[in-house]
Structure 1
Amino acid sequence: MINYDSILELVNLANDAGKKISEICLADQAKTLGKTEDEVYATMEKSFDVMMESAKWGAAPGRVSTSGLTGGEGYSMTQYAGTGKSIMGGFMSRAVATALCVSNTNAAMGRIVATPTAGSCGILPGCLIPMYLDKKAEKRDIVMSIFTAAAFGMVIAKNACIAGAQGGCQAECGSASGMAAAALVELMGGTPQQCADALGVAIVNQMGLVCDPVAGLVEIPCIKRNASGVAIACSSADMILSGIDLKIPVDECIDAMREVGDSMSSDLKETANGGLASTPTGKLLREKVFGKQ
């Protein structure tokens, strides 16, 4: 069984076996759960199907959050992506739109897959669904890549954290971006080490990101951070695939993220007492939802 103590452990296991990280993770999970690999794969495929359903649901007009603070971001971006005018281009504009749609579904109390959290639920689907719809990768390969993302997520959860309340948004959107970047690299034929390095680049680029939800709700700025998380994941994957070095080993990046989270003020860790939540407008929005405190 795999201990998930470090990313290096996973890379070495994959290299020694001549397999992808997703393959060794699938085999390990099947053994741990006492199921066949086909059964475990089917469960993950169902999760990907839910991601696609949530993206489609969130793309419809009129999807408003229960608080009334947000709604329609995914619809607006989907419509804009279809015009062909996006500065980012077709794939990236659709990826961002997908991330917003899934995040809108979450805010509207729809069905999503926490990857690794509800607050960061749009990033992995935002990266993977367009890969599937654009036929850049086969569905089985995409589902398998989620095992790589999951394996890396387990290491992060063990050695740092994935909760904004513990480590700030770097722990949620940062981890999700890294997991998505690793999945993308595997889909593009990258090595286990390149998957690991892509994770590291994404973490580096969101180090120190605070968790400051307005009114304490996973809406503002969380939904928009899912969109930027997709951009960071894609750029991180491309940088590593281009041959750019990570420089700082990924396990050290994870340790640094933990240290930054530990030193972060509690006001900046999902308490809604700092950052955007404590701005004059942020306070007014809180009053709009909950009344004067």
Structure 2
Amino acid sequence: MRFSTLKDIVEICQVESLTIAELMIAEQAKETGESPEEIVNQMTAYYQVMKEAVSKGLESNTSSRSGLVGGDGRKVNELITSFEPSVGVWAAKAMAYALAVSEVNASMGRIVATPTAGSCGIIPGVFVSAQERFGWEDEKLVHGLFSSGAIGYVIANNSFISGAEGGCQAEVGSAIGMAAGALVELRGGTPEQAVHAVGLALKNTLGLICDPVAGLVEVPCIVRNGLGAVNALAAADMALAGVRSVIPSDEVIGVMLEVGSKMPGEHRETALGGLAQTPTGRKLTEQIKATKSPS
């Protein structure tokens, strides 16, 4: 890739009058030897999987094998029809869709890791709800996925996207930043504004630990996806309004690396600390172990 930082992306896009999506498609074509059309077709297939996961999460039984989660995306979506959500209808839809996709993952359904399975609901939640709101064609959202991919590429190569390496800030935080930056571009913002959205999103998830109850990608992972989708919308709106990340976004990514590297092992997907080790967390873990034990 010709870029290794978000600053590189902005500079190339400005000099060559490109969107982040256009830059990423061109760079991926060079990397893989495939044509831009082939690359876009593959991403189109991924977006269809995302939309299918939203529908499945809202329309079918998504109870996990552990019994800890299932149906919360549907609950939030149904609330919208009978009650005015405090966050507004469209933010609530993004939240519901993000929960729904994460529940599909927990119930062993098909999802796209964006960038990981633990954060798989945030980008679909933001993208599918935005598509419904603004009437966008699939093609536009597919290009948005390339924008988010470019952002994720920079984060992954300069910090973490794995909870086991850097805590939940690496998984959910990265997904929020990817969704926020891409949404800015989808709504007509500049590459510079998109990059500011990334910084605004990431610096407000710094230090978020990964503490899954019983080691499952369920509690608190799924709720964090729902709230993460709303955070992405807020970061995008701030950037479109002209709010800047005072600390440059690349430096924020560097801080994510620093914080994640210093995070105790108990808070990096081991289920040895945080919510997993509360009295209720331990009790649930024992109950799940008991159900798995041979009778």
Q: TM-score range by the shorter chain?
A: over 0.9
Residue deviations 1:175-214 (CA, integer Å, cap 9, x gap): 0000000111001111111111101100011010000000
Q: 1:138: Cα distance to partner?
A: 3.0
Distance in 2 separating the partners of 1:103 and 1:209:
18
Residue correspondence of structure 1 range 42-53 to structure 2 within 5 A: 42-53=41-52
Distance in 1 separating the partners of 2:83 and 2:49:
27
| Contact 2:2 2:27 (8 Å CA) reproduced | no
| Contact 1:58 1:101 (8 Å CA) reproduced | yes
Task: Output the amino acid matched with 1:103.
Answer: S
| Contact 2:62 2:106 (8 Å CA) reproduced | no
Residue correspondence of structure 1 range 1-293 to structure 2 within 5 A: 2-291=1-290
Q: 1:140: Cα distance to partner?
A: 1.4
Distance in 1 separating the partners of 2:288 and 2:37:
46
Distance in 2 separating the partners of 1:123 and 1:245:
22
Task: Output the amino acid matched with 2:9.
Answer: L
Percent of aligned pairs sharing the same letter: 45
Distance in 1 separating the partners of 2:86 and 2:148:
28
SS at match of 1:31: helix
Q: 1:154: Cα distance to partner?
A: 0.8
Quickly say closer, same or farther: Cα 1:8–1:215, change in 2 above 3 A.
same
Query: Quick check: 103-112 or 133-142, which moved more?
Result: 133-142
Distance in 2 separating the partners of 1:29 and 1:62:
37
Distance in 2 separating the partners of 1:84 and 1:94:
13
Q: 1:81: Cα distance to partner?
A: 2.0
| Contact 2:21 2:144 (8 Å CA) reproduced | yes
Distance in 2 separating the partners of 1:71 and 1:227:
13
SS at match of 1:82: helix
Query: Quick check: 218-227 or 240-249, which moved more?
Result: 240-249
Distance in 2 separating the partners of 1:45 and 1:222:
27
Distance in 1 separating the partners of 2:2 and 2:64:
39
Task: Output the amino acid matched with 1:177.
Answer: I
Q: 1:61: Cα distance to partner?
A: 4.5
Query: Quick check: 86-95 or 205-214, which moved more?
Result: 86-95
Query: Quick check: 264-273 or 87-96, which moved more?
Result: 87-96
RMSD: 1.3
Q: 1:84: Cα distance to partner?
A: 4.3
| Contact 1:137 1:187 (8 Å CA) reproduced | no
Q: 1:30: Cα distance to partner?
A: 1.3
Quickly say closer, same or farther: Cα 1:252–1:136, change in 2 above 3 A.
farther
Q: 1:148: Cα distance to partner?
A: 0.9
Query: Quick check: 51-60 or 135-144, which moved more?
Result: 135-144
Task: Output the amino acid matched with 1:87.
Answer: S
Distance in 2 separating the partners of 1:219 and 1:50:
20
Distance in 1 separating the partners of 2:125 and 2:259:
27
| Contact 1:4 1:154 (8 Å CA) reproduced | no
Q: 1:89: Cα distance to partner?
A: 1.6
Q: TM-score, normalised by structure 2?
A: 0.96
Residue deviations 1:146-180 (CA, integer Å, cap 9, x gap): 10100110111111010000000000000000000
Unaligned runs of 5+ in 2: none
| Contact 2:193 2:242 (8 Å CA) reproduced | no
